[in-house]
Each structure stands twice: as structure tokens, then as C-alpha cells.
């Protein structure tokens, strides 16, 4: 089943947009001890640059990952004592919607998932797309990069653009964009405090250079009026 389903190119493309796969695998350590080729591993660096040992059959998973998955709720659905067992689970309730006992082909699973997905979308609305989530995370990383460099104008502009793009996306996506937006505005508020202090020390020219683009970036926010007022102070005699 691993070869006919999980390594099936059509199913892989389908799963990217339609499922979240959770593997509950037992006796893996036994396979490692016996040097079973299905438990073969290779060493590589993870996303954080840490070198780890990953499985050839599951290239993004370590032994610790698979053990954690097996110990999760995923391991509780199969009460038949037999494998393979596939449960299609409602992500909102974690209740089993349907199951397949024994082996099957990729097409069969795709048909079942498609039918159940329609039921879920009818009840809960459009689901979360991995593609959309990936783009939002990229945008979020870019915004945080600007914040780290102290480039508030760019961070504000990108944050506003992101919030506009995700306005019709599921709540989880909107919440991520909103959280980042709040952090950016908090940073902008602190910077306005610093610029106000600069004006108080007579450093009007320096503060004015930053307040110009910052006030434009804050247009439409709760801080716009304050930024404009501070900018006006830099021009006052």
C-alpha cells in the first residue's frame, strides 16, 4: 500500500490539496534492528540546519517523529488488530467518518476523500489550502525580516497587503495575518515614542526624515493621526 498509494504521483498531488496524512506505524524499531530495507535511513539537515537521520520511505520523518505520531490520537482509530487500516477523520471533531480495512488503490481513497470533503465544506465552508498557507508564511517571514531590520515602512506595507489578500480566507489564515499586523503596529507605536523623544531633544530633521515615509505607511491605521502630528512638529519653527 505504501508503494501503490503513498508513492503514487497522482495521489501525492491530490493529497497536497485535499488531505493531512497522519501515520501510525508500529514495530519500526524492530525493522531497524533487523536492517529491513523498508526501514532504511539517510542523514541530512532539517529546516533548522540540524543534522538528523531520516527514513528513506518517509524522507521528512525521523524515528522520533514516527513514534510521536504513533502515540497520538491517530493510533487509537484502528481497533481491528489488523493492518493496514485507514481512517478518514473529521478535522473539526476528530471523529472517524469512514474507514478502509485492508489494502486498496489510490483511486479508491481519492474518491472517498473527495466525497467526504464535499460534506465537510458544506458544513464548515472552504478548507485551508497548503498552497495558500505556504504563501502566507512566506509573507509573514518577510514582514518579520523587515521588523528585525527596523524597516517599519516596508513591514507595514507588506502587512496591509497580506491582510487584504487573506480577507476571504479561512479564519486560521486571517488570524495569522492579523497577529502579525498587531505586532507590526506595536513596533510602529514604540518607534513613534522614540521619534517623539528625538523631536523633544531638538533632533527634528532626523525625526522628520523617518516620519515622512512612516506616516504614509500608517495611512488608515489608528497611528496615522499621531504620526502626522509628529511630522508637523518637525516642520514647526
Between 236 and 154, name the one with better pLDDT: 154
Q: Give the model's confidence band at 163: pLDDT under 50 very low, under 70 low, under 90 confident, else very high.
A: very high
% of the chain with per-residue pLDDT over 90: 73
What does the chain come to in residues? 237
Cα separation, 60 vs 67, whole angstroms? 14
Q: Nearest-CA neighbor of 88 among 67, 72, 108, 58? A: 108
pTM flag (> 0.85): no
- pLDDT (0 to 100) of residue 146: 95
- pLDDT (0 to 100) of residue 125: 85
- pLDDT (0 to 100) of residue 57: 87
Domain ranges of the chain: 2-124, 130-235
| Grid cell digits, residue 129 | 489550502
Cβ(101)–Cβ(80) below 8 Å = yes
| Grid cell digits, residue 150 | 527596523
What does the pLDDT look like over 11-61, one tens digit per residue? 999 999 999 999 998 888 888 889 888 889 999 998 888 999 999 988 889
* Helices vs. strands in the chain: H and E counts, helices first: 9, 4
What does the pLDDT look like over 106-139, one tens digit per residue? 999 999 999 999 999 999 888 888 888 899 999 9
pLDDT of 237 higher than 80: no
- For CA atoms 102, 105, 110, 112, give the dihedral sign: negative
- pLDDT (0 to 100) of residue 154: 93
% of the chain with per-residue pLDDT over 70: 100
Amino acid at each position: 500500500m505504501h508503494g501503490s498509494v503513498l508513492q503514487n504521483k497522482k495521489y501525492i498531488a491530490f493529497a497536497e490539496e485535499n488531505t493531512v496524512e497522519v501515520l501510525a506505524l508500529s514495530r519500526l524499531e524492530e525493522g531497524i534492528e533487523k536492517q529491513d530495507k523498508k526501514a532504511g535511513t539517510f542523514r541530512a539537515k532539517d529546516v533548522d540546519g540540524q543534522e538528523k537521520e531520516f527514513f528513506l520511505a518517509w524522507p521528512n520523518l525521523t524515528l522520533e517523529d514516527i513514534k510521536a505520531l504513533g502515540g497520538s490520537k491517530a493510533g487509537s482509530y484502528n481497533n481491528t488488530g489488523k493492518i493496514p487500516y485507514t481512517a478518514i477523520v473529521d478535522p473539526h471533531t476528530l471523529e472517524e467518518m469512514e474507514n478502509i480495512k485492508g489494502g486498496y488503490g489510490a483511486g479508491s481513497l481519492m474518491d472517498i476523500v473527495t466525497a467526504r470533503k464535499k460534506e465537510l465544506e458544506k458544513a464548515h465552508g472552504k478548507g485551508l489550502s497548503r498552497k495558500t498557507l505556504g504563501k502566507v508564511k512566506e509573507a509573514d517571514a518577510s514582514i518579520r525580516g523587515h521588523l528585525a531590520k527596523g524597516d517599519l515602512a516596508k513591514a507595514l506595507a507588506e502587512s496591509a497587503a497580506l491582510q487584504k489578500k487573506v480577507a476571504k480566507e479561512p479564519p486560521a489564515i486571517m488570524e495569522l495575518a492579523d497577529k502579525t499586523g498587531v505586532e507590526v503596529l506595536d513596533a510602529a507605536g514604540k518607534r513613534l515614542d522614540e521619534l517623539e523623544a528625538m523631536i523633544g531633544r531638538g533632533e527634528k530633521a532626523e525625526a522628520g526624515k523617518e516620519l515622512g515615509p512612516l506616516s504614509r505607511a500608517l495611512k488608515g491605521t489608528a497611528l496615522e493621526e499621531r504620526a502626522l502630528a509628529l511630522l508637523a512638529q518637525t516642520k514647526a519653527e
